[in-house]
Amino acid sequence: MWVEIFCGLIIYKLFKCFFYDDDVLDLESSDFNALFSVANRLEKLYGGKVYVGLRIPDADTGSRQNIDMVLVNKGEAVVISVKNISGFVSVNSDGSWVCEGGSEHKAERLPDPVAETKKQASILESYLEQRGVALPEGYFSCKVVLPNPKFRTIQSSPFPSEVITYDQWVQLKPEPKSMFSGWIKGAFRGGKKEMQESIHQKLNFTLSTAPMWDRLELKGNKYVLGELLDFKGKQEDINALKNIRRSKVSRLIIQKTSMFGLAHSKLQVLYSPRDYRSEGASGSEWKEVTVRSSTEVLFQPDNSTKVRKFKLSSVVSLTLSA
């Protein structure tokens, strides 16, 4: 009987190893997923471009300021903070928020999100000015989006106009590009003057080359923002990946090749050489290498102190910041 149990455990371990990725299952990526869900919806609703996961240098502190996202459209530039909070939320007199009954099952206090977002916008404006992008005074507006369906508000605690609650978020409807109406105009436009085309292009280029977190896209529509540290695996595979460094490569796409009998499953890694002159590479510029599926990515998520290991077989793509 013990032999049968032992054999059963071995079979279970092998099955789990081949068909499940513990790193993906263990990682709580809901906050990152919320970011990209909001970004994708804003682009569909208003067109333009949303830049996610910016890390803007702060000249005053010498550190980097994390900015969830910036929406840029003609005549539109909005610094947006996404708070994926659940439970009952109230606003204190000092602007801070108190969240009760959420996933933590205890009261959680958040510093004033609106004030934080306005500070981020100010730091971003200073950074853009240093890079030669002069915007009209007050051009940036700030919004805090609450996309979690489990978010609840206490009626006696009205939110500032910069806050888009979940109920307001789901009411957003597709609008013609560069056209806003009703409360949407008040929420996302704020009566700003239309940006000149040259400034608009320069702003997009500057944000596309600004410091950002690396972006790891996993199977199952999961995302992780953080920093690629290295690859781990057989020396042969590491040698094949030696040219993939952020100074040389901007993006990787992982494709599975085939598995023959007991042979190792192979993965095709397509990578795009970095080119600051354009946002992407043409098909002829992509290069490729083939490695074992057991090869791993060492990645440091933004919201964790622990280095994570992801099998390349669980990765869809990896975008590297310069």
What residues form DSSP beta bridges with 292? 266
Q: Is the Cβ–Cβ distance between 253 and 316 less than 8 Å?
A: yes
Rounded to whole angstroms, the Cα distance separating 155 from 255 reads 50
Nearest-CA neighbor of 193 among 80, 70, 74, 48? 74
Q: What is the pLDDT along the chain (322 residues), one digit of tens a residue?
A: 555 555 555 554 444 444 444 444 334 568 999 999 999 999 998 888 999 999 999 988 889 999 999 999 877 789 999 999 988 998 988 999 998 876 656 788 899 999 999 999 999 999 999 999 988 777 889 999 999 999 988 766 688 999 999 999 999 887 654 434 444 445 554 444 454 677 888 899 999 999 999 999 999 999 999 999 999 999 999 999 998 988 889 999 998 765 554 455 889 999 998 876 655 444 458 999 999 999 999 999 998 889 999 999 999 999 999 7
From residue 245, alpha-carbon distances to 148, 194, 207, 275, 284 in Å are 36, 39, 21, 13, 20
What residues form DSSP beta bridges with 271? 252, 287
Nearest-CA neighbor of 78 among 48, 56, 40? 48
- What phi-psi label fits residue 213: left (phi over 0), alpha (psi between -120 and 50 degrees) or beta? beta
pTM above 0.85, yes or no: no
Q: Domain 30-208 belongs to what architecture?
A: 3-Layer(aba) Sandwich (3.40)
How do the residues of the chain divide into helix, strand and coil, expressed in percent and rounded to 5? 30, 30, 40
Residue extents of the structural domains in the chain: 30-208, 213-319
For strand 141-145 and strand 163-164, is the pairing parallel, antiparallel, or unpaired?
Answer: parallel
Name the strands in the sheet holding 249-256, side by side, starting at the edge strand that comes first in the sequence.
287-292, 266-273, 249-256, 315-319, 214-218, 222-232, 296-301, 308-311
> What's the residue count for the chain?
322
Q: What is the DSSP string of 16-45?
A: HHHH--HHHHH---HHHHHHHHHHHHHHHH
Q: State both tokens at 124.
A: 């971003």
